[in-house]
Each structure stands twice: as C-alpha cells, then as structure tokens.
Amino acid sequence: MDFGLSEEQQLLEQTVRGFLVQEVPIERVRELREKDCPNDRAVWKALAELGVTGIRVPEARGGSALGLLDAALVSQALGHAATPAPFLGSAVMAPTALGAVGGAEAEGWLAGIATGDLVMGVAATELFSVRENAGVRVKDGKLEGKAMMALDAFGADLVLVAVDASTLAVVKGDAAGLGATRLLTIDATRCTAELVLDGVPAEAVYEDAGEACARMLDAGRIALAADVLGACESMVEQAVAYAKQRKQFNRVIGSFQAVKHLCAEMIAEVEPARSLVWYAAHAFDALPDEAPEMACHALAHLSEIGREIASVATQVHGGIGWTDEQNLHFWYKRIGNARHLLGGPELLRDRAARLQGLAAAS
C-alpha cells in the first residue's frame, strides 16, 4: 500500500509551487501588501488557469472535483510562498458548503469560482466564537447584525454568511446596507473583514444546512493547517540557508552545535505534522466520520508548532530576522494570524475531546 502522494498530486504541487516562485515572489507580495486588499485578481485568474480555483468544484460546473488532499497541497504551497489569495474562502470553504446545499444558484456560483471570475468570502466565525455581541439573523429575506473575522470577505463579489449552525445565506459584496471594513491584523497577506449588515437583501438563504456548515468548517480548518505547514517549511528552509552562509568568528553559524540543534528541532516538528495534515485531508473524503476530529487535531497542532517554529527560525537569523527588509516576518505573521482564524488550539482540542466523549459534563 502506498502512503505517499500520487504522481498527479506531486505534479500538482510542483506546478503550483513553480508558478508562485515565478509569478508571486516575495517582492511581489511586498507590493501587494500596500493595496487596500492584497488579493490581486490577476494572480487569482492565473491560478484559475492552473485549475486551482476550481479544485473543489464539480466537473459539471467547470472544476476538477479533486479531493481535499489536493486542495491541501495547494494551500500548503500558498503558505510556503506567503501568497495573498482568497483560496481558503473561495476555493475550499465556499465550494464545500455550496456543493452540500445544491441548487441552480449554487451551481452558477460554483462555475464562477472555477473560472476565477468570482471571489466569495466566508463569514463563519460566530459558529464557534462570538465576540462583541456579533451574530446575524434573517428577517423577511434580509440580514441584520455583525460578523467578525470574515475570511476573504473584503473586496469579495459575494459573501457566504453562516447565520447559525444550520442556516447559510449569500449576499453580494456591494449590497445596499452591507458595510465591510478590512481588519488590519498582523498578517498583511489576508483580506479578513468585519461585516455590518443593516437590512442586506439575501441572494439566497439555505435552511437545514447543518451538514454544510459543519463540513465547511472542517474543510477550512484542514486547509488552514496545510497553509501553516507550508509557512513552517519556508521558515525552516530560510533559517537553514541563513545558517549556512552567515559567519561569526570566521565560521558559518550552522557549524555551531547550538544552531544545529535549533534547526534539527524545527525539522523534527515539521515532518510528523506533514503526515497529520495529509491524513486529515484524506479522512475528509475517505473517512468522513473521522474528519471533524482530525480537522481539530491538525489545526490545533500546527498552530502550536507553528508558533514555536516561527520564533526559533527568527532567532537563528539573529537581529536581522526582526527587520522588515529580511522578509521573514511575512511568514511569522501569517502563522500567528492563522492561529485565530478558525479557532485557537484550546477551543479545537475541547471540541475534539467532546467529539470523542472525553470532555467532562458541564
């Protein structure tokens, strides 16, 4: 039995990584962070031509209908390059939910996602964490309330809003009554937004969408864990490369035992995490009963080791690692922000314990 990636998956990973190296190097990321929203539509369209945007869209709607493991490999590549792109919301979470609810409208939106013509944000934070009295309700086909930390929602064409654990709604990004403010988090590569909805007309409301909501969150958490994994890989690679060329006392610092140990410990953290993320992505399609638990474990674990790897990789660089010119901070901040997007480690482990019947009754 082969527990590795297939030839097709290896080719997909190599193709996306090669494209990002050529078309979205860190210098381009620096340019994009100066925009109101760094999600460049030209980059998104180019990714669509590679089949990235429609990776989770059915073939009948112009997508490739690949598994979540394939999507996780793309997410891992995007994290490795610190690429600003609405992949998490538009290419993973939204197609997962729309595919579950079905209908002619959903199919049309899926086709738009596959071609790269449509960017869809996702407002789902209130499904697992409510802050500042946030929450959305539907009355007479219109949405009222506030949604925090809406993924890829700033500048999006449409936003998929989780009203509650069993209800989803879709609104236009420029709909009357919708106020979208980009949240200036530490991560300059994401277009997370706070949404204020004041009588916003819904393009569609899906009731009895409990399974769609749950699957959407599971898929998002696994893809986000893969993004963090890619960012960790990049930080380790940069730290090792720097240790091989930086000299002190006429010796490269990589020859010092203390630095060797730091690099070795980072690598020892990354390698088993790779297997965890890939298995969680595999379970989403092949072992759906395990997926909710594995999604929580994968993101919780990557959030924990990601913070440590980001810190240690920066330490290996010394003082220059903290400067803007060095670039390391793009990955450092991306990892730090990801820790809070779809639930922190404590929340995720609590959910995993409850799923296994291991949590004490409250």
pLDDT score for 131: 86
Q: What is the mean pLDDT of each run of 10 residues along the chain (362 residues)?
A: 81 96 96 92 95 96 95 98 97 97 94 97 95 91 95 96 96 96 91 95 95 97 98 96 88 87 94 95 96 97 96 92 88 95 95 86 56
pLDDT of the residue at 362: 54
Q: What's the pLDDT score for residue 1?
A: 46
Question: DSSP characters for 303-324?
Answer: HHHHHHHHHHHHHHHGGGGGSG
What are the angstrom distances between the C-alpha of 313 and each of 39, 61, 80, 254, 266?
A: 27, 43, 14, 13, 8
Residue 40 is encoded by which pair of tokens? 């460049």
pLDDT in tens, 104-155: 999 999 999 999 999 999 999 999 999 888 999 999 999 999 999 999 999 9
Q: Domains in the chain, ordered, with CATH?
A: 7-118 (1.10.540.10), 121-208 (2.40.110.10), 211-355 (1.20.140.10)
Residue range 55-107, pLDDT digits in tens: 999 999 999 999 999 999 999 999 999 999 999 999 999 999 999 998 999 99
What is the pLDDT at residue 361? 57
- Location of structure tokens 């219109």: 142
Give the pLDDT confidence score for residue 228 in this predicted structure. Answer: 98
Contacts of residue 299, Cβ cutoff 8 Å, sequence gap at least 6: 221, 222, 224, 225, 228, 342, 343, 345, 348
Find the Cα–Cα–Cα–Cα dihedral 245, 246, 251, 253, rounded to 10°.
Answer: -100
Give the pairing type, strands 142-150 and 193-201: antiparallel
The pTM is what? 0.95
